[in-house]
Structure 1
């Protein structure tokens, strides 16, 4: 019985620690994925002629002609990461980047296995953020806490 009590106490302690680390994990995921996509968007913007050429010759985005696909993809890679890092609106930004990531995989069949692993990692992190939100260390979390705190004292 003593071993069971000790095991349960250790599990509770572990669980409390893991729960306290959730905001940090969400922030780390937002910063990591946001940086990856933002830098990709800057690269596209830096040499627009090459970007248009790539969207014409290499990337085959379904249902969109190359020029609008390039504009939408680049805009998504520049705007959505900023929203994601701020965490407002976190789920929307994560869902948008999830779609951008999926389009990258679909439209560029020449991705190597190692490159695909990166896209899978980003997809999992973005899926987590869509399902669980940006966390309490985000603009959404801060606004929600502020609103809840204000309602308690009214």
Structure 2
């Protein structure tokens, strides 16, 4: 009886210990995905302002302002969904990494000026979080893991 009680009391700690890296990955996925999701929703909900900014403020190389606005908005809405559920998580992280880099490049004339240091730091932090998902995958708390487990495949997921 005492062993059973001890087992039940320590079970949550054992589960958390076994899943700690996966919990960390899911928290990172949600945090960084939410940052881009908010930006995508803002662009979508104020489309005229978005087009104006892409035409006059953002300096996206090689793309027309309209195409850059569409691709940026789609990327900021699609890739976070992939991270949230962990479906093609590495691809979602790679896609958001591209969006992140393009955002820094296209707005470098502002974010690298004095007073905007925290903005650059945010992009570094998001980039490192996305790199962790690309390297380690989305973790066991993801659809990728469940699909591969169902298929009988081993990592990488």
Q: TM-score, normalised by structure 1?
A: 0.83
Aligned to 1:43: 42
For residue 142 of structure 1, report the CA deviation from its aligned partner.
1.1
User: Within the alignment, does 1:119 sit opposite 2:123 as a pair?
Assistant: yes
User: Within the alignment, does 1:139 sit opposite 2:143 as a pair?
Assistant: yes
Q: Which runs of 5+ in 2 are unaligned?
A: 1-16
Aligned to 2:20: 21
Q: Which runs of 5+ in 1 are unaligned?
A: 1-16, 150-154
* CA displacement 1:19-75 (0-9 Å, x = unmatched): 631110110011101111011000001111110111111111111010000000000
The aligned runs of 1:5-154 (5 Å cut-off) are: 17=17, 20-109=19-108, 110-111=110-111, 112-148=116-152
> Whole-Å Cα distance in 1 between the matches of residues 133 and 97 of structure 2?
10
> Whole-Å Cα distance in 2 between the matches of residues 132 and 103 of structure 1?
24
> Whole-Å Cα distance in 2 between the matches of residues 45 and 22 of structure 1?
34
> Whole-Å Cα distance in 1 between the matches of residues 64 and 146 of structure 2?
40
Q: TM-score, normalised by structure 2?
A: 0.81
RMSD value, Cα: 1.5
Structure 1 stretches (4+) deviating beyond 3 angstroms?
Answer: none
Number of residue pairs matched by the alignment: 133
